Structures are given as structure tokens and as C-alpha cells.
Structure 1
Amino acid sequence: MSSSGSSSKIPPVVANYTAKGERGKLGDIDCYFTGKKGSKRGTFVNYDAFRYHPNVFQICDILGSLGHYVVAPDLFRGEPLTMEDLGNPVAMGKFMQNSGSWNTSKPNYVQGIEHLRNSGATSVGVIGFCWGGKVALTSLQELDGIVGGAIIHPARVTSDDFAKINAPLLALPYNDVDLEMFKKGYEELGTRPFDAKCRLESFVDVVYGFCGPRGDWSDPAIAKRVNDAIQLEAAFFDDLMPN
């Protein structure tokens, strides 16, 4: 994969981060905006199943410093899942049928991507973490004009998803079972015209959610792998988005 060199400009992530972007609204939904409005590179970020978090804001800010205009909507409108919900089948079922469903998220994707384009973006990509990885992957199946998607420690992805996507994919699976499933899925992508732009990298050596709220970025080993992930994202989108 070629790169215009953004990855060499990436600062190391830090713990106890103070976000540099701005809060605002698109319609009735709160959003985090960062980067240069008017940039040709627009990026829509879908956080994980828990909440807005400084770790996610920091990744957004780094992408903004690399020339992306980034929007990250609060898809749960201030009511994210909790760790206790993960062990509650009723709560998880309700989540997946309502706020965690693609049907609920799709209007916000359409709205956010339209905002990026109206702000000057000629190329729009999507990034999703954990549960958000599944939703971002679905956007590559159902929405036109997205140049590519990066999914970080994705959850709930199935082998059927790969045959349906219509744009290049960067995937960073976090466990051996998912890695093997992704390897088979990428064989399916080998038949697609954008196969050469796709990338699959293993992150099975770190904890689930290491790029989101679960990641302890004061741990140098975790922080290094977060920077590895950001470098892969930057190079992936460099290859898809002209300056």
C-alpha cells in the first residue's frame, strides 16, 4: 500500500488527553468536530458501544492534524451501554434492536456524510470501533460514494458481510477466531476490483477495545499498538483520498 507520508507525522498517543475539537450539532444530534473544515478529506467516526471518550477524541484529533475533517456523532444521544449491560441478554437485545441497529444509525451516517461533502470533502471515509466497526462495515454495503472503511477491533462481523461491501476495507481484528474468519472473508474480496486497496492486520496481542474506552494508554505496550493502528489508518486513507 502506498502512502503520502502521513504516518510519519503521527504523534504518540498520551493518557489523560484533553480534546482539541469542538462540540456542535447536526440536526438534533450532538457531534464532535475536528480538523480543518473545507478539507478534501472527510472522515466519519463511529465510536464503540459505550460512549464518547478521550481516547476516541484523540484519534479523531490526530486524523484532523493529518488533513482530515472529522465528524463523530453521539449516536446514542448520551445514553450508551454500560459494562453491566454486556452481561444482560435483555439489555443487549434491546440495544441491538434499537440504538445499536443499522436502521437507527443509517440516518446519522447519511447526515454526517452529507455534512462532510457540503463542507468541501471530495473523498469520504468511515471508521468504526468494536460495535461501530460492524455498523461502519454495513455502510460500505448500503451507502454510495464512500471511498473506504477502517474497522478497529470489530465486533459482530460475519463471513457474509464481505461479499456485500462496495469499497476497500482495512480491518484490525483482535482475536484469533475473528482473524481466521477475516482471512477467509478477504479471500472473497480478492475477486473484487478494489482488492489491492484492502488491508488486514492482526492485533490479537492486545485487549479488546484497546483503541476505545477500555484501552489503558498509560501502558506503553498498549499505546504502541494504538499508534500502530493509527498509522495503518492514516496510510490506508492516504491511498484512497487525494490531498
Structure 2
Amino acid sequence: MAHTQSAACCNTPAVISKGYKEKGDYITVDATYADTTGPSSASQGILVIYDIFGFFPQTRQGADILAHSDKEHQYQIFMPDFFDGKPADISWYPPDTEEKGKKLGEFFQTAAAPPKTIERVKKVMNELQSKNPNVKSWGVLGYCWGGKIVNLVSQAGTPFKAAASCHPAMVDPKDAPNITIPILSIPSKDEDKSAMDQYEAALKVPNKVEWYHDQIHGFMAARSDLEDDKVKAAYEKAYQTVLGWFHQHL
């Protein structure tokens, strides 16, 4: 594993803390906008499921890191807009007032309802597989809420070969026995340790859990303060871990 991680991560670019400009293009998938990045010749693809705040420079930079850093295993990355231009407002988090809590709760029950998203993932993947026959194996990566979706779409009949879940929301040990592909979890200090430990113990597939006890929920995505050197270092290291995981399992 040490060799594959080294091979995967030796070309990781310097992370830009402010004013990041994404490298990708824009396409339509399942009648919604999607970011895509990475060489069209790549034979491996990764579906990225963002957090409830939608497209953010930190998340887009992460997609570019995954697409371009591993010279041995390059990836086409696809990040659809599952919220159709209406993500949650980042000012609602943390939900430290009754109003914020109400708005977040409503969002999770409507736009971000997991059953609705699972069906959407199926449609998105059917279209992506049809339009990209050169992609022979697919991975899936999710942040926060997207991490929950990853757990639910990594079960029997999944189109994915490997999965990664970054600071996953709504961790449920009952999801673990149903997962059928190798899965990486990167929890932060804000995740429930008891639930995460029970979840890890119940997994029946190759897995890895790498804690970031000094980082907040969202440090690899929309809530990442990349102007903070410690956060930036953690962000870089965590993306290297994700790269190593997909390098090994895709």
C-alpha cells in the first residue's frame, strides 16, 4: 500500500487558498448542470457528490486534484448539480439558532432527501456510462451529506467499484453490512465517534478510517478555510489519502 500511495500522491499540486479557478468544463447530465474535469482519455471515472452547499471553490479544487495528480491512474471526474442551482445557504451552518435549524431541516427533507438523490444517482450513472464507454471502472466520493449518499449507493447492484466518504453526515452503523465495495471514511472532530466506531466494526468489505480530530466537519469541501495553514495541510493530506485509495481499488 505504501508504494501505491506514493505513486498516487507524488504529483499532488500546491493547493491554492484563495481565488481558485477550476480547470474543468460544464456538461448536462440528467437534465442538470455538471462539472467535469480530467482527461477524456482516462479509463477510470469518479462521481463526486458534493455537500449541501453545492459548488464551492474548495470542492472544485478537490475534483481537479483527483483528476490530475495521479499520473499512473488518471480520472475523469463528474460532479452533477443534484440541487439544480438551489443548494443550502452556508450561513445556515452551524444551526445555532432555531431559524437556521428549521431551514436546514426542511432542506434535508426536500432537496436533500436521500431516496430522491439515490434515484437521481442511478439516472446520472446510466447516462454517464452510456456517454463515456471508455471509462471501464467507476468510483464514488461524497462530502458530508454526500457521504451518506455514498453509503447508500455502494450496496448490492452498485455501478461503483470503490467509494470514499469525507466527513460523512448521518453515520449509521446499520448501513455498513450492506456495503459491497471497498470504502474509505475520513471523519472529522465533529463526527459521532461511537457511531463511527460501530459503523467501522460492522463493515464486511476492505475499508479504512482515517480520523482528523483537529478538523471541522466540511474541511475538505465548502467549509474549508484554506487560508489557515493547518487546515490547508490537512486538506492536502486527506486528498492524498483519497488518491491512494482509488489508486489501489479502482
Q: Same fold (TM over 0.5)?
A: yes
**Aligned pairs, how many?**
236
* Cα separation, 2, equivalents of 1:210 and 1:143: 31
Are the structure 2 counterparts of residues 18 and 177 from structure 1 closer, same or farther at C-alpha, using a change threshold of 3 Å?
closer
| Of 200, 203, 212, the match for 2:221 | 212
**1:104 corresponds to which of 90, 102, 116:** 116
1:130 to 117, 121, 144: 144
Q: Residue deviations 1:194-239, cap 9 Å, x none?
A: 33xx111011111221111211112111111001110110010011
The answer to whether residue 170 in structure 2 is matched with residue 168 in structure 1 is no
Match of 2:15?
A: 13
SS of alignment partner, residue 127 of structure 1: strand
Q: Structure 1-normalised TM-score?
A: 0.90
From 94, 101, 106, the counterpart of 1:94: 106
Q: Aligned partners of 2:42, 2:228: CA distance in 1, in Å?
A: 34
Say which of 55, 58, 67 aligns to 1:55: 58
What's the CA shift for 1:84?
4.6
- Specify every segment of 5 or more residues in structure 2 that has no aligned partner in the other structure, as ranges: none
Secondary structure at the counterpart of residue 146 of structure 1: coil
123-132 or 89-98: which moved more?
89-98
- Per the normalisation by structure 2, the TM-score is 0.87
SS in 2 for 1:9: coil
Say what the alpha-carbon RMSD is for the aligned residues. Answer: 1.8
Matched letter for residue 9 of structure 1: N
Q: Does 1:69 align with 2:76?
A: yes
- Pair 1:158 & 2:165 matched: no
1:82 lines up with 2:89 in the alignment: yes
Cα distance change of structure 1 residues 176 and 85 upon mapping to structure 2, 3 Å threshold: closer
1:200 to 193, 209, 212: 209
Which deviations, in whole Å up to 9, do the C-alpha atoms of 1:138-163 show, x marking residues without a partner? 11125423112111111111121111
- Residues of 1 paired with 2:228 and 2:82: CA distance? 29
CA distance in 1, matches of 2:42, 2:200: 31
Percent of paired sites with the same residue: 25
1:155-210 CA-to-partner distances (Å, cap 9, x unmatched) read 11112111111111100111275234322322222xx2x33xx1110111112211
Amino acid at match of 1:178: D
- Any idea what SS the aligned residue of 1:226 has? helix
Cα gap change, 1:27 to 1:116, in 2 (>3 Å): closer
User: How far off is 1:113 after superposition?
Assistant: 2.4
Mark the CA change 1:71 to 1:159 in structure 2 (over 3 Å): closer, same or farther.
same
- Which of 166, 181, 185 is the equivalent residue of 2:195? 181
Assess if the C-alpha contact under 8 Å between 2:36 and 2:76 holds in 1.
yes
Q: Provide, for residues 12-54 of structure 1, a one-character-per-residue CA deviation record: whole Å limited to 9, x for no partner.
A: 2112210010112113110001001242111000111112011
Aligned counterpart for 2:126 among listed residues 100, 114, 119: 114
Distance 2:104 2:156 in 1: 24
Partner residue of 1:44? Answer: 47
How far off its partner does 1:99 sit? Answer: 1.3
Cα distance in 1 for partners of 2:119, 2:59 equals 22
